[in-house]
Amino acid sequence: MSTAKVDRRVAHSHHFDSMEQEHESGKQGVWLFMATEIMMFGGLFVGYFIYRMKYPEAWVEGGSLLSWKLGALNTLVLLFSSFTMAQAVTETMKGENKKALNLVMITTLCAFAFMVVKYFEYSGKIHHGLFPGLDIWDPSAVQNEGTRLFLLFYFLMTGLHGFHILVGVGLMFWLMKRLKNDEFSPKYYTAVEGVGLYWHIVDIIWIYLFPLMYLI
Amino acid sequence: MADTTVVDNHSSHSSGKDYLNESSGIWSWLTTIDHKRISVMYIYSIIGFFLIGGLFAILMRLELMTPEPLFMDGDTYNKAMTFHGSIMVFMVVVPGIPALLGNFLLPIMIGAKDVAFPKINLLSWYCLIFGAAVAILSLFFGGVDTGWTFYTPYSAKSAGAVSMVVLGAFIMGFSSILTGLNFIVTIHKLRAKGMTMMRLPLFVWSLYATAIIQVIATPVLGITLLLLTAERVFGVGIFDPNLGGDPVLFQHFFWFYSHPAVYIMIIPPMGIISEIISTFSQKTIFGYKAIAFSSLGISAISFLVWGHHMFVSGQSPVAATVFSVLTMLVGVPTAIKLFNWTATMYKGRVSFATPMLYALSFLSLFTIGGLTGLFLAAYAVDVHLHDTYFVVAHFHYVMLGGAIVGMIGGLFYWWPKITGKMYDEVLGRISALLVFVGFNVTFLPQFVMGSLGMPRRYHTYDGIYSAYHMTSTIGSWILTLGIFIAFYALYKAAKSGEKAPMNPWNGTTLEWTVPSPPPHENFDTVPTVTGRPYEYR
């Protein structure tokens, strides 16, 4: 575009009529995108439940292979990160970009902590031949044949979730750069709010994954 | 006219700048975020894909001219069939009308300067092109012979480049999701002053109903293809019964997207038809609200009917019966539309310009396609007709006779607006006639041979079907000729057509109140809308 870059803190983009209209549009776009995320993970949850009904013993065995302590730790980490993210949005709305920057930084550290725990969980599984493919799979490591399917769903669902965490980290760095440059104002904070929404959805998906995989 | 306060009909011609010549060079196109330019890029790319997909169709029809193999072996035929299906579905008809006409018209029709997220709009074009490139390049890595539905367990084991095509479809899915998301927000948030929901042109309503399906259904296709890829890469039996998986689950997942997807394909042309019929009858559309809400009705029901693809898959008879009844319900909102279109023409001043001829083709072809859909929705009848040429004929009547004919009609209707040039009316009418005749010669015999038992997806067949196949092949040549004449007429118009006036058809929607072609930001003065569209008399 040839149009000069607008200062989003005080002005709206060329094709909108007002800053409020632009903010509302952005927010609705993020919500719709969240709907697609839920439909996508929804497919995996449906698959999980269907095979859970088909292979109940395998699902019990699969759950017992996972460490509920590590899962619980990660749940706490994510819940805390959702809190700091929500606070970051509030601070940006008040115009406190510096405070928001610190809060986003804490959120990012939580995301890293989550991935470190996940790394130890994954590598433990791979070490014990419990990754269900790529010549790593060791059939003698489990009693039920269906457990391999459980582990596939475990790796696919937590893997896709982990991918979303990593995307979230990327978004956090983008936010930190913009917060550092003081690009937001009480009238313009769409990006922070949008990433916040995204982060909460990623968190909520984990809230469902944790009991389904580790506890029941 | 949609009574608007646009003051001067000629004001913006004073600058001599429009969206086409506002900047130049290939780079100004590839990085454009103007919805009109993106739409033009979609027009070129989708017509390109259509020609590739059509080439495979012509080759298949040629092969089927005789009962014995003519020039293809079974393997080659299966690949041609798969590419024809995948290209036409994922690259032509699904992105088709929303991307190539919706992009251009939606913002103008609601009085906006652009879609809500112009950069995401450009991104969705790149998703389509990139995904399509990955899928088409798989031709050089062994091709794919699974059919466009990628049914398991065969697709989990087939030696071809299934993963590549699946990845391509996955990427193209993002194009569809992003377009849908963009359109919903645009319709909700960017309407001009006075443009209430009940004043939206019906094409916009159809795009809205479509966008809902695009956003909700497409992610399920994404996850299905991801699971299929996981099965291929890791060798775990998600869908392979030998390894403990459930192949019918794949069909459930696949059709949960792919049935709503056929309404992604057919609702937008219905919107085009509403516009064309009202304009060329010079009469207020009959039953505006009924047409608008029936679009939403179709998209709601679309999510509840996927099981009718699986009547012979071993799903429970109870489920099949429920799906059968729900499927027939689709006929209700669809028939509401057809009756309203007919009633619009009644006592109107009907003129038979090219877009109207295509619209009338649509009415008759789509009615045949829709009614034969009811045959297939009937559980007991479908057990006999499943996987025969009856099904092939049915969905071609809807997808080609409905969606593509509607799209070509729409292209003719809005071509003066898009290019600023008038097309040759004689060429246009000849093309409409040839497409209509060629289409029926190609696909009517397929209903007959299908009900006699000719199975689909075979490259050889019993001699008793040869007369039908021969007729069908000859019809495909007439159809091809018609489509080429149509594209030639459009090309010739863009190249050297006469200058188009602002409102050549005496249309009433907002796009006819801006110059042809429109200026960069659509309106010199943002309009205020004070009445409903189609207020002829």
Give the count of Cβ contacts less than 8 A between chain A and B: 100
Question: Which helix (H) or strand (E) element contains residue B498?
Answer: strand B498-499
What's the one-letter identity of residue B367? T
pLDDT of residue B4: 44
Of B526, B525, B509, B511, residue with least CA distance to B35:
B511
**B181 to A36: CB separation less than 8 angstroms, yes or no:** yes
Tens of pLDDT, residues B364-410: 999 999 999 999 999 889 889 999 999 999 999 999 999 999 999 99
Residue B261 DSSP SS3: helix
pLDDT of residue B400: 93
pLDDT of residue B13: 45
What residue ranges do the domains of chain B occupy? 11-513
Q: Which positions ≥6 away from B1 have C-beta within 8 Å?
A: B508, B513, B535
Question: Which helix (H) or strand (E) element contains residue B433?
Answer: helix B425-452
Q: Which residues pair with B455 in a beta bridge?
A: B388
Query: What mean pLDDT comes out for the span B157-168?
Result: 84
Tens of pLDDT, residues A114-143: 999 989 888 887 777 777 777 777 777 777
So what's the ipTM on this one? 0.89
pLDDT of residue B537: 61
pLDDT(A62) > 80: yes
pLDDT of residue B7: 40
Of B209, B184, B202, B300, residue with least CA distance to A25:
B184
3-state secondary structure B80-135: HHHHHHHHHHHHHHCCHHHHHHHHHHHHHHCCCCCCCCHHHHHHHHHHHHHHHHHH
**B220 to A39: CB separation less than 8 angstroms, yes or no:** yes
Residue with tokens 């440059």: A181
Select from 1.20.120.80, 3.30.465.10, 3.40.50.2020, 2.102.10.10 the CATH code of A20-215. Answer: 1.20.120.80
Q: Which positions ≥6 away from B442 have C-beta within 8 Å?
A: B61, B396, B472, B475, B476, B478, B479
**C-alpha count within 13 angstroms, C-beta hemisphere, residue B293:** 6
Tens of pLDDT, residues B434-480: 999 999 999 999 999 999 999 999 989 998 999 999 999 999 999 99
pTM value is 0.91
What is d(CA B350, CA A38) in angstroms, rounded to the nearest whole number? Answer: 48
Query: What mean pLDDT comes out for the span A16-31?
Result: 87
Asked if A50 contacts B246 with a C-beta cutoff of 8 angstroms, the reply is yes
**B234 to A32: CB separation less than 8 angstroms, yes or no:** no
* Domain B11-513 bears CATH identifier 1.20.210.10: yes
Q: Which positions ≥6 away from B528 have C-beta within 8 Å?
A: B4, B5, B192, B193, B194
Q: How far is B234 from chain A (nearest CA, A)?
A: 4
**By CA distance, what is A23's nearest residue in B?**
B189
Q: Which residues pair with A185 in a beta bridge?
A: A188
Both tokens assigned to A180: 């550092």
Q: How far is B495 from chain A (nearest CA, A)?
A: 27
Asked if B236 contacts A147 with a C-beta cutoff of 8 angstroms, the reply is no
Both tokens assigned to B158: 């087939």
pLDDT of residue A142: 74
**B185 to A28: CB separation less than 8 angstroms, yes or no:** yes
**By CA distance, what is B211's nearest residue in A?**
A32
What's the one-letter identity of residue B85? G
CB distance from B194 to chain A under 8 Å?
no
B244 contacts in chain A (CB < 8 Å):
55, 145-146, 149
Asked if B145 contacts B457 with a C-beta cutoff of 8 angstroms, the reply is no
Q: How far is A191 from chain B (nearest CA, A)?
A: 14
pLDDT of residue A65: 84
CB distance from B215 to chain A under 8 Å?
yes
pLDDT of residue A4: 53
Query: What mean pLDDT comes out for the span B227-242?
Result: 86
- Helical segments of B330-424, H only: 331-345, 354-377, 379-385, 389-398, 405-419
pLDDT of residue B15: 58
Q: How far is B191 from chain A (nearest CA, A)?
A: 10
Tens of pLDDT, residues B118-147: 999 999 999 999 999 999 988 888 888 888
pLDDT(A7) > 80: no
Residue B422 DSSP SS3: strand
**B188 to A149: CB separation less than 8 angstroms, yes or no:** no
Residue B502 DSSP SS3: coil
Q: How far is B16 from chain A (nearest CA, A)?
A: 18
Query: What mean pLDDT comes out for the span B509-526?
Result: 88
Q: Which positions ≥6 away from A189 have C-beta within 8 Å?
A: A89, A92, A93
Selected residue of B29, B174, B181 to mutate for chain A interface (largest A Cβ count, 10 A): B181
pLDDT(A89) > 70: yes
